[in-house]
Structure 1
């Protein structure tokens, strides 16, 4: 019997038709564990690290109603229940006033979110999983993609089962997928973040459902076939506001605002973004209110973006992803990531 710090429900029935009511019935962060034909092996999925990214837990709720029987034990974490249930439900990334849970997986594990992150890390060690997939929604609309901290053939094959793009990032932000770099016991465990698409996109729920079904059906993960056209992008740049800069999203420039991004900038999360693509308007400070740093903290803004007559454009062809239209996320996290081509 695996001993965990967080509560465990084993092979639970689905007693509530409404996913919000079901999440509330858990009472807090909970492992949902399905017995497998081979109880010696385990696979782990984490969901709802951000309370406003519910596609994973919605797909889980729907899938559990089918009473699945996986090939191996499957442990699924429903993590940030408090944030998810803060009214209005499924709209808060974190509990107001608390740290972002997915920035707390490196010590020191301060505050409520840090304590929870430490418990999750210990529990994942206890499960000794064959793999971990951490499911999220993108902060803007867009296609699904995966993120890994290392370029690895197995992670490429695993990512290719669910999406067409893998980002290999060297940013270290304290996310769950960084645990193998932090916890020596987890170093052999493949961990992948899967961004399923926008929280309101039905397709995102379908992607999440595919994760549960396939992890339950696969007998041998080492036998996965590679995705022949997987797009692998490495070393993204993180485009952020400089301290004190202001931002808005609109269809026209907003007076007194340093950066007004185009209201539907998240449309550029798909495909190639070319130098003639209009991204938004700049205020009196121009580009000085932005930075585009790599993982070492070096700013590549002027290699990536340029100003033309007060408007913001790419300087070169690029792949743009995680572009948000949420002002709070833009202020507290970043505007978007980009890989110049």
Structure 2
């Protein structure tokens, strides 16, 4: 697929004909990344929503289209609203919303900031970095008072928010979507790591095929656009903060399998129900899978300094992969492509109080 990475399309206060009858028709009508601006009561301010950074994460687009087509146009949002729709070409590949990025490309949410120049090797990958800069520009040019980036997990899981800082604003924004906010200090080239001089949160709405995830995204958009002052928002829900998750990854060329029992596969084998840990906790000494004779050397768990701390979180019992502490897992998936090319899951240590509270 030939992609023009140098272009981004702008629409202002689109009519229903531009939006089409449903989100599928709307997606297929777009030629590339698209910015939609909606005029608000206070035209001196913008609130920005980013969606579809990955083509297989549809909740943000579905919710955005629903908000645009169901709102009373006489009731303006409190400020101007800017929606930025990113990986249109990947999302439109058949079957719809099944492709994270196009062939030969890379995850655009690893292409922001200095990280990109060290990871891009082909012209197509450099094109993804060029698009990331266009998306950054589309945010910076309106100097927004907040940015919310809407995502899905590839597998079922609860909704949670992520931020690089914990402030009253980020807690308040998170409360419109979730009761959990994760403080992350990872540096992986994501859009959330960039400095936009305003509150920025990422929302993991839930599983990509989960209707409830689409509802979470829509309800959050509806409430944020109607909120008069995001500088002080009354929190409807208490928000629990979870600190500094790490990403469990395979080392290069290590094979990954899933199974209900030890089948003796090479590399790493995770339990085929690993996704269930997204809804609860993994206890100390609980087994998550199996490893071959290379043991924990198949895996890496890098902290923000780039140090591998795998031995501080896991150990092997015979050939089983076992939790050294009480752990909380996020975004565990049985999607082998995502698990291999991104990470197996995110993990944090829990205290006994967090396990039983």
In which range does the TM-score fall when normalised by the shorter chain? over 0.9
Shift of 1:228: 5.9
- 2:339 maps to which residue? 330
- 1:285 maps to which of 270, 275, 294: 294
Q: What is the correspondence of 1:1-341 to structure 2 with a 5 Å cutoff?
A: 6-15=8-17, 16-68=20-72, 69-107=76-114, 108=116, 111-180=126-195, 186=196, 188-226=197-235, 229-341=238-350
**Residues 268-309 of structure 1, C-alpha deviations (whole Å, 9 max, x = no match):** 112322124331122222222112221111222122112223
The answer to whether the Cα contact below 8 Å between 1:57 and 1:78 also exists between their aligned partners in 2 is yes
Deviations 1:237-271 (A, max 9, x none): 22111122110122233443211111121111123
The structural deviation recorded for 1:157 is 1.9
Extract unaligned runs of 5+ from structure 2.
1-6, 121-125, 351-357
Deviations 1:48-89 (A, max 9, x none): 000000011011122222134311111001111011112221
Residue 121 of structure 1: CA displacement?
Answer: 0.8
- Rounded Cα–Cα distance in structure 1 between residues aligned with 2:140 and 2:267: 45
Q: 1:183 matched to which residue of 2?
A: none
- Greater Cα shift, 194-203 or 252-261: 252-261
TM-score (norm 2): 0.88
Give, in whole Å, the separation in 2 of the partners of 1:279 and 1:29. Answer: 39
CA offsets per residue over residues 206-232 of structure 1, 9 Å max, x none?
Answer: 111012101211010122124663221
Cα offsets for 1:138-170 (capped at 9, x unmatched): 132100111111222321221122111111111
Supply the RMSD in Å over aligned alpha carbons: 1.8
**Distance change >3 Å, CA 122–CA 273, structure 1 → 2:** same
SS at match of 1:316: coil
For the Cα contact (< 8 Å) 2:180–2:240, is it kept in 1? Answer: yes
Does the residue aligned with 2:282 lie in a helix, a strand or coil? Answer: coil
Distance 2:300 2:185 in 1: 17
The separation in 2 between residues aligned to 1:330 and 1:221, in whole angstroms, is: 36
Given that residues 101 and 117 in structure 1 are in contact (C-alpha distance below 8 angstroms), is that contact kept between their aligned partners in structure 2?
yes
Task: List 4+ stretches of structure 1 deviating above 4 A.
Answer: none
- The offset of 1:21, in angstroms, is 1.9
How much does 1:43 deviate? 0.2
Q: Secondary structure at the match of 1:43?
A: strand
- The alignment partner of 1:20 has SS state of helix
Deviations 1:162-189 (A, max 9, x none): 1111111111111111120xxxxx2x21
Structure 1 segments unaligned to the other structure (5+ residues) = 181-185
Aligned residues: 332
Counterpart Cα distance in 2 of 1:66 and 1:290: 47
Q: Which moved more, 1:101-110 or 1:165-174?
A: 101-110
The alpha-carbon distance between structure 1 residues 179 and 135, as it changes in their structure 2 partners (threshold 3 A), is same
- Distance in 1, matches of 2:102 and 2:42, equals 37
Is the CA contact 1:48–1:54 (under 8 Å) kept in the aligned structure 2? yes
